[in-house]
Amino acid sequence: MTAQFAASPQRGVTATRTQGGQLVAAEPKPESADDAVERLYAQHWANLVRLGTLLVRDRGAAEDVTQDAFVALHGRWDQVREHDKALAYLRRSVVNGCHSAGRRTAVAQRHRPEAPPDVASAEISVLATERRSEVFAALATLPRRQREVLVLRHWLDLSETEIASTLRISRGSVKSHSSRGLKALRTTLERTP
């Protein structure tokens, strides 16, 4: 007959009774991968991340490397011969992972694309913004249907068929509203100094 020790500090220790009724401690039950990794995670996560951060100088990358080390340990728990050396395994995994992350970062920096070409001056940006404002103001003076057709055609780049379907009008009406709207816009913008 086997009975669980009630106050045993060690998880999974069982006792058996001999024929004389005496309790004898049996071998401790091995800790499951889930329990072991959870315990190690709670005790050592912060220190392992700190170790990784010192090696790669990036906390986010260090957290990723540390997480990968815990996942790998969990997957190989049954293959770990000495479970009391799991922390050493985790440290070694974090160090190796940081070396790999450092190499990837170095390669990425060597192959970084060239900086984009210089952008237009602030004056050109201001003028473009001012011109755009003039176009919007002129567009606002158009009748609703002409404005809708021009916006769908020139800002959303829809075809005449798509515009007709969207507004539930004929293709001929789309052409007519577009032509009249463009003519009115042109006239308004030419008058603007």
Domain annotation for the chain: domains and CATH numbers:
1-30 (no CATH), 33-110 (no CATH), 122-184 (1.10.10.10)
**What is residue 107's three-state secondary structure?**
helix
d(CA 16, CA 140): 91
* Residue 16 β-bridge partners: 2, 24
Token pair of 110 as six digits = 């060597």
d(CA 64, CA 62): 5
- Winning range, highest mean pLDDT, from 2-6, 10-14, 33-37, 46-50: 46-50
Contact 149, 177 (CB under 8 A): yes
d(CA 49, CA 91): 10
Question: Strand (E) positions, 12-157?
Answer: 14-17, 23-25
Q: For residue 5, what are the CA distances in angstroms to 8, 26, 52, 110, 141?
A: 5, 10, 41, 61, 88
82-109 confidence digits (pLDDT tens): 777 888 889 888 999 988 888 888 887 8
pTM, entire model: 0.44
112-157 confidence digits (pLDDT tens): 887 777 776 777 777 778 888 888 888 888 998 998 999 889 888 8
